[in-house]
Chain A
Amino acid sequence: MLNHHPLTRWILGYEAQRKRMLKKAPHGPLRDFLAVPFPALNTPFEQIPILAVDFETTGLDAVADKLLSVGCVDLFHHQIKLGSSYHEIINSKGRLKADNVTIHQITDDQKDQGKPLAEVVEQLLNRLAGKVMLVHFSRIERQFLRQACLELYGMAPPLPIIDTLVVAKKRLDKRDVAYDPSELRLSALRANYGFPDHYAHNALNDAIATAELLLAQVNERGESMTLRQLIL
């Protein structure tokens, strides 16, 4: 595949993209984010600065649906630092749909007291600078963050991502045994490692749960892993 050619990587790789975009980016949060280099692909796991991130949204469509809340926590040196945890509800426009509220448990009142989208995205980019984003099932977080950046800054930054769902999926695929897609859910994978149940659908809680899952996945290998083996 062309994608794996070193030259292509150099041109298309996230570090190259970061440098190119830095030149064009307007002053402000996005530029600050782009100013910090990402870790190199050969960085061993314990030295990769990771930010576990989770979003709660009103739906799956990054354009039509809204970002409701953001939660994140640092993972570094095999340790999840709870002191670094961040959780914020976003005051987006429009009413919430009742069936949706039952999932994320964020009410209109809470939403109305939330912070503006610009402020929360700025906080998130600030924390994410120079780090790899860790998510479980990356589509939502990647698309919603891209969309928010496009709306706020007119461009979307490159995002190096580790996806625990993909890490798990690769391992299951290697085993060449049929499996049910539901086995790839965060709670199902955690249960496999004997982890306690967690209160799902809270953005910070899911971020912590995802970080714990990655620790188990990485430790399971027994050998030290580099970012190259983990990155999406």
Chain B
Amino acid sequence: MDSALTEISEFVQAIPPLDLLPSKLIEQIVKEISICYVRRGKQLPPQGISDKNIYILRKGALSYVTQDNELLGKYGEGDICTVFCLDNDEKINVSTDEDTLLYSICYKTFEQLVSEYPDVIAFFHQTSEQRLNKKMLQVNEDAILNSSLLNSSIANFYHSPVVTVGPNTSIQQAAILMTERGFSCLVIAQDTNPLGIVTDKDIRRRCVAQGLDILQPVSAIMTDNMTTIDIKNTAYDALMMMTQKHIHHLPVTANNQLKGMVTVTDLMNNEGQNAVNITSVIHKAKSVSELTEISKMIPKLQIRMAKLGTTADHVGKSISAITMAFTIRLIEMAENLLGPAPVPYAWLAAGSQARQEQFAHSDQDNALIISNDMQPQHSYWFKDLATFVSDGLAACGFIYCPGEVMATNAKWCQTQAQWSKYFAKWIDTPDPKALMHCSVFFDLTTVHGDSCLLDEVRMKMLKTTQRSTLFIAHLSRNALNLRPPLGFFRDFVLIQDGENKATLDLKHNGIAPIVDLARIYALSEGIASVNTIERLQQAAGTPSLTKASAANLIDAYEFLSMLRMEHQAKKLQQGEQPNNYLPPKEISKLEREHLKDAFKVIKTMQDSRQSTL
């Protein structure tokens, strides 16, 4: 090919999603390019072009706005302006901010050229929601595939010995044995020679459903020529074999001798193993200093989980579970020291820990709810408890809450009745301070103690919020203060008023707005869950939130959380404090597109919330 066009081809091929196309096709696309030059302050399309075209920016900048002149986004070098190839309901105006050199291509021709590449077509055709959904399906699939299963041998997973029975054992005997041992399958063997396998499902389908006599030999319902896997394979191979054959149990052999059994559950639980291990070590710890030692494993666990491609949801739940274990162990130690509690109480977690969305190095947000039987003299016991646990948590790396949302603060160490009063007041007079408390205290969970105490307060509270349209309106208005950016322009974050910011605040400009929306839906619909994804799932299909919108928000939330998790893992690995600030330079072109889609989903839902006010 001519080197002039090679240069243009290379430029074009580097732009997602065109990077998915083979060079031959890029050459054909380049032949369709018309180079145009548009001076600053002019409208697109350029003069002489009436077709629906796509425009690749070689140099310069474009802005696109609604008919009301609201800025929707900007394009810079290497961006593709797709405004004219979409069938927009609304008319969008595009103009040049700078003198601009464009590569213009007729969309119809382009579409024909790439017709065999649905992923490329999808980029131009799909809505933000559809693109994001596709991305998250991929991520979740990869989360399973990329997991450590690839690198671990089956030897780490199988259990042995396998329970075997002779072929003449009756079906009933086999079923009794399975029940006793708590196994969902048995291997049928003659001496040490495996003949077949029988599972719960075989008993149901081949015996009970068929009306077969339960005294018949088990060999009548077993699956012979069973699939086995050699112990030298990886856990991933086992998973793939099970998926392909639609089986859940796989006998493991070594030199053709039966060694044990591996189940789907064994493999799937693998990711949680480490969190589970840490939790069990915490339960055995004898002193605060031992706990402090254990806590040093948390950042490492978070790095490892992120590297394995674990979902952010899973990581958040694991880290939250570990924090919970620390808290419980500290409370147990305190009770040992202080003697039993004078009256029933519960230790509460608030904010991200309660939502099970916690990452390493977060603050401690906690509170105490105490039985109404509490007497004034009891307050010393609770103060001592709170101080011991709070100091212990601080020693384990959970810094004191800067806003003093802690059980050590007398304000948040109160009886059930007082908590009910607090909630009633916040709902009744939602002043700015009350609304500030909402984001913390409307996400509460019981860590230790009598969970009825909180549940009762919550039930009462949810009944009130469901009815209080004024409160929901205030909460909504407050939540709408945090707006997502529009997207990216060159290496900057583009915000609403067209200004640029050097970094993307993943928390405040992406994750928090979704958490806030989920809380509003939950409070409007009387949903008791506090976890954001669970709230959205449960609110789906209620008057507050359509099923489709819920799915879109979950995709956006998972994508943003994933980016945050990866960013924090990187920081942790470099020995730095993890934060939520992502410089655009570190965000790939493709991720920017997905982020833009996620921002759009949030904006759509915020706008629809706005319209209810």
State the A residues within 8 Å of B (CB): 46, 71, 77-83, 85, 87, 193-196, 198-199, 202, 204-205, 207-208, 211-212, 215-216, 219-220, 222
- 1/0 per residue, CB under 8 A from A, across B2-35: the answer is 1111011000000000000000000000111111
Report whether A202 and B3 are in contact in the complex, using a CB–CB cutoff of 8 Å. Answer: yes
A57 vs B334: C-alpha distance when bound (angstroms): 90
- Contact partners of A79 in chain B: CB under 8 A: 34-36, 46, 48-49, 104
Please list 18 pairs of residues, one from A and one from B, whose beta carbons are closer than 8 Å in the complex, sorted by A's number: A46-B48, A71-B2, A71-B4, A77-B48, A79-B104, A80-B36, A82-B5, A82-B35, A83-B32, A83-B33, A85-B4, A87-B2, A196-B58, A199-B3, A205-B2, A205-B3, A208-B4, A211-B35
Contacts known (A87-B4, A199-B3); A78 close to B47, Cβ less than 8 A: yes
Among B31, B49, B101, B104, the residue within 8 A (CB) of A83 is B31
- 1/0 per residue, CB under 8 A from A, across B514-549: the answer is 000000000000000000000000000000000000
Report whether A216 and B7 are in contact in the complex, using a CB–CB cutoff of 8 Å. Answer: no
B39 at the interface (CB under 8 A from A): yes
A193 vs B46: C-alpha distance when bound (angstroms): 18
State the B residues within 8 Å of A (CB): 2-5, 7-8, 30-39, 46-49, 58-60, 98-99, 101, 104
Among A82, A199, A222, the residue within 8 A (CB) of B34 is A82
- Contact partners of B39 in chain A: CB under 8 A: 219-220, 222
Among B8, B37, B59, the residue within 8 A (CB) of A219 is B37
A196 vs B34: C-alpha distance when bound (angstroms): 17
- Contact partners of B58 in chain A: CB under 8 A: 196
Report whether A195 and B4 are in contact in the complex, using a CB–CB cutoff of 8 Å. Answer: no
Interface of B is mostly: mixed
Report whether B101 and A82 are in contact in the complex, using a CB–CB cutoff of 8 Å. Answer: no
> How near does chain B come to A69, taking the closest CB pair, in angstroms?
10
Report whether A212 and B3 are in contact in the complex, using a CB–CB cutoff of 8 Å. Answer: no
Chain B residue nearest in CB terms to A69: B2
Chain A residue nearest in CB terms to B104: A79
- Contact partners of A77 in chain B: CB under 8 A: 47-48
> How near does chain A come to B391, taking the closest CB pair, in angstroms?
60
- Contact partners of A80 in chain B: CB under 8 A: 34-36
Q: A81-B34, A83-B33, A212-B37 are in contact. List 4 more A-B contacts (CB 8 A).
A: A80-B36, A87-B2, A204-B3, A212-B101
A219 vs B37: C-alpha distance when bound (angstroms): 8
> How near does chain B come to A85, taking the closest CB pair, in angstroms?
7
Report whether B46 and A198 are in contact in the complex, using a CB–CB cutoff of 8 Å. Answer: no
Report whether A205 and B4 are in contact in the complex, using a CB–CB cutoff of 8 Å. Answer: yes
- Contact partners of A78 in chain B: CB under 8 A: 36-37, 46-48
Chain A residue nearest in CB terms to B32: A83
Among A81, A199, A215, the residue within 8 A (CB) of B4 is A199
Among B30, B31, B33, B47, the residue within 8 A (CB) of A46 is B47
A46 vs B48: C-alpha distance when bound (angstroms): 9
Report whether A202 and B34 are in contact in the complex, using a CB–CB cutoff of 8 Å. Answer: no
> How near does chain B come to A151, taking the closest CB pair, in angstroms?
26
A204 vs B47: C-alpha distance when bound (angstroms): 25
Chain B residue nearest in CB terms to A83: B31
Contacts known (A46-B47, A82-B31, A82-B32); A204 close to B37, Cβ less than 8 A: no
Report whether B99 and A194 are in contact in the complex, using a CB–CB cutoff of 8 Å. Answer: yes
A207 vs B2: C-alpha distance when bound (angstroms): 12
- Contact partners of B59 in chain A: CB under 8 A: 194-196
- Contact partners of B37 in chain A: CB under 8 A: 78, 212, 215-216, 219
Chain A residue nearest in CB terms to B36: A79
The 9 closest A-B pairs by CB, nearest first: A205-B4, A215-B37, A80-B35, A204-B4, A79-B34, A77-B48, A87-B2, A83-B31, A82-B33
Report whether A205 and B47 are in contact in the complex, using a CB–CB cutoff of 8 Å. Answer: no
Contacts known (A46-B47, A79-B104); A216 close to B99, Cβ less than 8 A: yes
A193 vs B37: C-alpha distance when bound (angstroms): 11
Report whether B4 and A202 are in contact in the complex, using a CB–CB cutoff of 8 Å. Answer: yes
- Contact partners of B33 in chain A: CB under 8 A: 82-83
Report whether B30 and A82 are in contact in the complex, using a CB–CB cutoff of 8 Å. Answer: yes
Among A85, A212, A219, A222, the residue within 8 A (CB) of B5 is A85
Report whether B2 and A195 are in contact in the complex, using a CB–CB cutoff of 8 Å. Answer: no
- Contact partners of A216 in chain B: CB under 8 A: 37, 99
- Contact partners of B32 in chain A: CB under 8 A: 82-83
> How near does chain B come to A47, taking the closest CB pair, in angstroms?
10
